[in-house]
Structure formats: structure tokens, C-alpha cells
Copies of this chain bind each other. A is one copy, B any other.
Amino acid sequence: MASGKPASGEDSLIARYFRPLATDPGAFRLDDDAAALKPSGDDVVVTTDAIVEGVHFLPDDPPETVARKALRVNLSDLAAKGATPAGFVLALALRSADEAWLEPFATALGEDAALFGCPLVGGDTVSTPGPLMVSVTAFGRVPPGKMVHRSGAKPGERVMVTGTIGDAALGLAILRGGKVHAAASDTAAREMLVGRYRVPQPRVAMAEIVREYASASMDVSDGLAGDLTKLCGVSGVSAVVDLEQVPLSGAAQGLVSRGIVGLETLIASGDDYEILCTIPEDRVQAFEAAVQRAGVALSSIGTIVAGNSVPKFVDKEGKEIALERLSYSHF
């Protein structure tokens, strides 16, 4: 106590584990009650996503992947809005100050913060008698008025999506056991699918491209079908999606073709963290070229149409497939 430093466990764990991550000068070494974001002339884009043990991650998920997922689900939102990461704050609710958990959590969080250029600027660490919860609020920057919205899709535009859909849902199914677990016997495929559930790949390389080309954009976090429904609803349009064009990984394709899981389940499951956007037809070619240069996989899955009905999902015979559910909902 002679040093003038408080003896609080909370402060010492912040100093030990989180101060090294607070590399931005506006974080004031986490020595203060607040952070300061300098004015840059840009709009500050703000997104918040919380992940809860037993809901968004499993109790025995490694602390490293919990940390990465908490940050990356927010980076995914920023990318879909066309925003460049600028920093984040962390509210962490813990049952105990377990160093064996906190040390790898903070190390992985710091690695991702550096990787994505999104430093920790502040936070709050509280105790909870319940499940662990990690709440992140992330900040990005876009030129004034240039945030890309869910609204803005117009009839005739192309519906496009990055990466592959459904892998994370299969990864979760593998971790939970059951028929997908039994069927996915290939170790490499299992690891890929579980990895997609635990550690999303936010499409940060897409931010500028989305800003340049997309009329509407969002990240796919609650299921492709439901998220497209939301985008169409806010835009006041509908869509027709060709189910055959929905991009699947080899592992997912194998499970679908063997009848282990239905494509309609995969497009209604969460945790993809891909970017879903709409592109005016005359800009599709340039958009595709830009996305290719960024090294991101891209698929054209459908077309925006007039109307206000739920998007139609049609199979290779052109027959509409009715979906029992569109997406994951917490309630």
C-alpha cells in the first residue's frame, strides 16, 4: 500500500492483463474513467454485441477463442457498414478473477486488437454469480454520411454474399454431439467447422469495397435467410435467392449431399459473420474484381425484386422452398 496504488483486485487485474492492450493514446493507459476519441472529420460508427457463456459460446470453449469471438463479431458489423476499425471498449462479467483463464483471454484479445488495428480504449470488469459475459462496443470511422445501411436495396440489384454459409452452425452441432458429430468423421473438416463457430473471420478487407459499391449491406450473424429478410424489410423490397448458389464449404456440401443436414437449416442458422450486400447490376463486375483483389470469396446468390413479401428461396428446379424458421432469435 506504500506505493499509493490501490490494493483492489479489480484494478490489479486490469493493470496486469488489459493495460498492455491499451496502446491508443486516447485510452490513457486505462488509468482513467473514460477514453477519448480524437475528431478526424469522419463519422464514428458504433456497434455493440455481447456474447454469453452457454448462449454464444460453450462453457469449455478456450478463453482465446472467447476473446477473439467477442471482438470479431463487432469487427464484422463494422466491416459490413463500410467502417475502418478505430477501437473498442470491453465490459467483462466474471465469476472470479481466474488468472489461468484471464491470461490467455487477454493475450488473444491483444493479438486480435493488433491484427485488426482496433485497440482497447476502455472497459469495466465486474463480478457475476452467473455465466461469463463479454460485451464489446466497437468504433469505426467512415467519411461523413458514408456508413452503408441495411436500407438502400433496389429491385434489379444483385444479392451477394462473402465466404461460405452454415459452417459455424455445423461446428456448433459437432461440439454438441448428435448426428452431425457422428457423421463428420473427417478430422480436418471437423476442425474447420468448429473453428468457424469459435473464431469468426470478420471481413475487414471488405469495408472500403462495400462503401464503394454496395447499395445495402449487413453482416450475416443470425442466419442468411432471416438477415436477408431484415435487409429487404428495411429497404422496402423483396428478393429471390437461388439456393443452389448459396456458397457452402466442401465439408458442409458433403453433409448436405449425404442428407445429414438440410440446406434450409444452414441458411437459417447463426454465426456466419459473412457480408451480405446488394450491388447495382452495372457495378457487379467492378465489385467482383475489387473483392477478388482483396482475396475474399464471393457468391452471387439472387436478385432484389419489388414487393414486401419475405424473400423466396428456390431450388434448382425453380421450386420455392418454404422455410420453417428464418434465423436464430434470442426470444
Contacts and interface: CB of A to CB of B under 8 A. Distances in A.
Interface string A1-34: 1111111111101000000000000101001111
A128 B308 contact: no
A36 B142 contact: yes
Interface stretch (A130-138, A174-182, A257-265, A295-303): A130-138
Given A33-B77, A35-B46, A47-B34, A308 B129 contact: no
Identical chains bound together, number: 2
Contacts of A308: 2-4
Contacts of A83: 34
Contacts of A5: 229, 233
A91 interface: yes
Given A33-B77, A46-B35, A48-B123, A10 B55 contact: no
20 contacts: A4-B236, A5-B229, A5-B233, A6-B229, A6-B326, A6-B327, A8-B226, A9-B329, A26-B43, A33-B80, A33-B81, A34-B78, A36-B43, A36-B45, A46-B121, A46-B137, A47-B89, A50-B126, A55-B129, A137-B137
Contacts of A236: 4
A189 interface: no
Instruction: From A46, A49, A127, name the one whose CB has the most chain B CB atoms within 10 angstroms.
Output: A46
Chain A, interface residues (CB within 8 Å), range: 35 or more
A218 to B, nearest CB: 5
A232 interface: yes
